[in-house]
Amino acid sequence: MSLLNSGWRTLSYHQKRLVRDLLKYQGVRNMSKMREEAYIDGQWVSAKSGKTFPVLNPANGKVIANVPDMNETDAELAVDAAHKAFQTWRNTTAKERSVLLRKWFNLMEENQESLSRLLTAEAGKPLAESRGELMYGSSFLEWFAEEAKRINGEVVCSPARSREMIFIRQPAGVASLITPWNFPNAMITRKAGAALAAGCTCIIKPAEDTPLSAIAMVDLAEQAGIPPGVVNVVTSSRGNTPAIGRVLSTHNKISVLSFTGSTPVGRLLYENCARGIKRVGLELGGNAPFIVFNAADLKTTLEAFMVAKFRNAGQTCISGSRFLIQSGVYDEFVGMIKDAMETRLVVGDGMDNGVNFGPLINQSQLNKVDGLVKASIAAGAECLLGGKPHELGGLFYEPTILTNCAETTPCFEEEIFGPVVGIRKFETEEEALQIANSCDVGLAGYIFTQDVSQAWRVARQLETGMIGINEGLISAAEAAFGGVKQSGIGREGSRHGIEEYSEIKYLCFGGIN
């Protein structure tokens, strides 16, 4: 562990606390050996090439660990291991899988604080948010431990007296799970919980920026007794990712690919999967409309705004992105959000007390956000607040408001994935819907109005997979999460989340006298 190697006395208070927590999480099994390895076939392994890559703390740029920089050779070994394990895991009972998932959930709960600190260290999100993600992430294991027992088949009415017709559900096979950096814990449990419950085995490929949460969680899966090969983790730097992605989307032993990330990468993986006719689940980018009508309760709307916009500094796929505010409440509501952003957002290292707004994840993300802000201003948007990198330096960006946005303003056209509030004033419901639906993605949307008929009318017509109505926090293990248009295919969470990982087999019993 690089923190240990660098000398205890040179470490800051927070670094020492992180190391203590990591050791606690490890059960203090071995003071000199921290998990900086990938996990294949029940073994903690290095890359076959011996290469590693550094994991950085986005709050200060320091290296917090070095993990294996794997390539296609390692990915193929993981696929073989998962395929071998599938031959026995597929025959476990739902009850057996449920018990193991519940044990994994219990260990996640027991280690919640350490995992939260690890998450803040690698992803930069404020500690309170990391704790929230841990609860959210663990809840998928609990949910799917329960759902595992309800993967029922069907008996249907046969058209012939001599036949009975039955559908049984079976696990689809080996699943590739490719996850992003913005929810390093929950995006894994949302997929792996469902896959394991259904009887699939899996290979997890976490993002370059956040492999440590994945490694830590799989360590707990091993402690829970999940057999070798059932869950595997392949870590890689961005340079090796496309080669690993090819293996995970084209290998003939892979049956399902579940991907969360950007639409361009999702499109590429979908094309790869088409060749092998693999099942796909895609949770892709959004560009959420956040519509505030004259009939909104502005106090409720403000609270929903703060949570929907500033979780993870705006780096959330369901973050409000395009703010449409009706003319009757425009001045008042824009004043309220500016005031709240100036007084309530505390920018800094997510490990520090009171901080509720951390850094962006990496330099390219900061460049993208800043580029979109500059291009939007050049295209006619007016900067009411922020608009540049934060004076703290590094990867911190100012909470920003851009008004006078049009459909063609860059921050409206493209998902900004940062702490930028692009605003457009509108007059009529029809106009709001026309603007909201004028894009090729449709993940989440938000509607604020106390007029129930208006809420229903707009909800029916808004082209998104999920809608918060007078609510900014819509995620839950019980919810069917997913998008329409180019925001993806399939649903995660809820009872539908398992459908991605199971196949229906039709049995026809004939010759009944």
Q: What is the DSSP letter of 490?
A: S
Nearest-approach distance from CB 398 to ligand NAP, in angstroms? 21
- Which listed range, 150-158, 239-247, 378-386, 445-453, lies at the site for ligand NAP (CB under 6 A)? 239-247
Catalytic (active site) residue 431: no
- Which listed range, 115-123, 238-246, 293-301, 494-502, lies at the site for ligand NAP (CB under 6 A)? 238-246
488: left (phi over 0), alpha (psi -120 to 50) or beta: left
In the bound state, the residue with its beta carbon closest to ligand NAP is 245
Q: What is the DSSP letter of 392?
A: T
Position among 182, 201, 403, 486 found at the interface with ligand NAP (CB under 6 A): 182
Looking at residues 195 to 224 of the shown chain, list those that interact with ligand NAP (rule: CB under 6 A): 205, 207-208
Nearest-approach distance from CB 498 to ligand NAP, in angstroms? 17
Contact flag: residue 179 with ligand NAP (CB under 6 A): yes
CA–CA distances in Å: residue 165 to residues 152, 162, 172, 510, 511:
15, 10, 21, 9, 12
Amino acid at 172: A
Q: What is the dihedral of CA 366, 369, 373, 374, to 10 degrees?
A: 50
Position among 86, 136, 143, 181 found at the interface with ligand NAP (CB under 6 A): 181
Nearest-approach distance from CB 174 to ligand NAP, in angstroms? 16
The interaxial angle of helices 127-147 and 94-110, nearest 10 deg, is 160
Neighbours of 16 (CB within 10 A): 13
Contact flag: residue 1 with ligand NAP (CB under 6 A): no
Nearer to ligand NAP by C-beta: 426 or 501? 501
Nearer to ligand NAP by C-beta: 236 or 403? 236
Name which of 259, 290, 238, 97 is nearest 191 in CA terms. Answer: 259
- The alpha-helical segments, DSSP class H, found in 402-482 are 410-413, 429-436, 452-461
Nearer to ligand NAP by C-beta: 183 or 323? 183
DSSP codes, 183-234? STTHHHHHHHHHHHHHT-EEEEE--TT-HHHHHHHHHHHHHTTPPTTTEEE-
- The alpha-helical segments, DSSP class H, found in 296-394 are 298-310, 327-344, 363-378
Nearest-approach distance from CB 364 to ligand NAP, in angstroms? 9
Angle at 444 between CA 443 and CA 448, to 5 degrees: 155
Name which of 98, 102, 132 is nearest 316 in CA terms. Answer: 132
- CA dist 198 and 502 (Å) reads 6
Nearer to ligand NAP by C-beta: 46 or 250? 250
Answer for the pair 43, 219: CB distance below 8 angstroms, yes or no.
Answer: no
Nearest-approach distance from CB 331 to ligand NAP, in angstroms? 31
- CA dist 6 and 410 (Å) reads 44
- Which listed range, 86-94, 155-163, 172-180, 219-227, lies at the site for ligand NAP (CB under 6 A)? 172-180
- Which listed range, 221-229, 237-245, 391-399, 504-512, lies at the site for ligand NAP (CB under 6 A)? 237-245
Nearer to ligand NAP by C-beta: 136 or 181? 181
Looking at residues 422 to 451 of the shown chain, list those that interact with ligand NAP (rule: CB under 6 A): 443
Q: Catalytic: which of 129, 283, 413, 463?
A: 283
| # residues contacting ligand NAP (CB under 6 A) | 30
Position among 180, 314, 359, 422 found at the interface with ligand NAP (CB under 6 A): 180
Nearer to ligand NAP by C-beta: 348 or 472? 472
Looking at residues 253 to 312 of the shown chain, list those that interact with ligand NAP (rule: CB under 6 A): 260-262, 265, 268-269, 283-286
Looking at residues 83 to 122 of the shown chain, list those that interact with ligand NAP (rule: CB under 6 A): none
What the block records as the tokens of 334 is 């824009």
- CA dist 116 and 18 (Å) reads 10
Answer for the pair 498, 147: CB distance below 8 angstroms, yes or no.
Answer: yes
Nearest-approach distance from CB 53 to ligand NAP, in angstroms? 9
- CA dist 321 and 316 (Å) reads 10
Nearer to ligand NAP by C-beta: 182 or 494? 182
- Which listed range, 93-101, 241-249, 397-405, 494-502, lies at the site for ligand NAP (CB under 6 A)? 241-249
Nearest-approach distance from CB 238 to ligand NAP, in angstroms? 4
Nearest-approach distance from CB 187 to ligand NAP, in angstroms? 6
Nearest-approach distance from CB 172 to ligand NAP, in angstroms? 20
Nearer to ligand NAP by C-beta: 253 or 485? 485
- Which listed range, 68-76, 101-109, 161-169, 180-188, lies at the site for ligand NAP (CB under 6 A)? 180-188
Neighbours of 234 (CB within 10 A): 32
Contact flag: residue 129 with ligand NAP (CB under 6 A): no
3-class SS at 452?
A: helix
Listed as own residue / partner, the contacts of 163-168 with beta carbons closer than 8 Å and 24 or more positions apart are 163/508, 163/509, 163/510, 163/512, 164/508, 164/509, 164/512, 165/506, 165/507, 165/508, 165/509, 166/506, 166/507, 166/508, 166/509, 167/504, 167/505, 167/506, 167/507, 168/504, 168/505, 168/507
Nearest-approach distance from CB 315 to ligand NAP, in angstroms? 7
Nearer to ligand NAP by C-beta: 199 or 418? 418
Position among 293, 417, 426, 501 found at the interface with ligand NAP (CB under 6 A): 417
Name which of 278, 287, 284 is nearest 253 in CA terms. Answer: 278
Active site residues: 283
Residues interacting with ligand NAP, by CB under 6 A? 178-183, 205, 207-208, 236, 238, 241-242, 245, 260-262, 265, 268-269, 283-286, 317, 415, 417, 443, 483, 488
